Amino acid sequence: MHIQLADFQLLGRDACDVSGFDPAVGGTRTPIRYDAGTSIPLAPNERGRKGVFREPGNQMPRVMGEFDGAHGRFMYHCHLLEHEDMGMMRPFVAMPEQVLKFDHDGAHGGHGEGHTG
C-alpha cells in the first residue's frame, strides 16, 4: 500500500477474520471481523517511516503520518497494477482545523453535509 503526500509509520497490524469472504462471489457472505485474540508483531524492516508497506489480506494496518503544511485531497492505493485497476485506490482528505472554515466544496463530492467549524 502506498499513501500519497507523506511518509507514514506503521504502528501495528490488526488481525481480521476473513472467513466470510467468498472468492466465488467476489465479496463477503458474512462481515469481516476484528480478531482481538490474534497478535501480529511488526517485522524489524517495518519499523520507521515508510512510503510503501505490504498489506496482507487478513490484516488491517494502523498507521500515522504528518502532513507538514499540506492539505487537500490525496490518494492511497495498491502498487500492484492489477489491484489498482480493480479499485484498490481510495481518496482521503487532509485538512487542518484552521482550514475547515474555508472549505468551499462542502461535502467532497456530495457525500454528506460538509464541514462545520
pLDDT of residue 117: 42
Q: Give the tens place of pLDDT for each residue, 27-86.
A: 888 988 888 888 888 889 888 888 788 878 788 888 888 777 677 777 777 777 776 666
DSSP labels, 13-35 = EEEEE-TTEETTTTEESS--EEE
Residue 14 scores a pLDDT above 80: yes
Cα separation values, 30 from 18, 19, 22, Å: 9, 8, 9
Q: Give the tens place of pLDDT for each residue, 78-104.
A: 777 776 666 677 787 777 777 667 765
pLDDT band at 15; cut points 50, 70, 90 = very high
State pTM to two decimals.
Answer: 0.61
DSSP labels, 51-108 = SB----TTEEEEEEE---S--EEEEEE-SSHHHHHTT-EEEEEE--HHHHTT-TTTTT
pLDDT of residue 2: 76
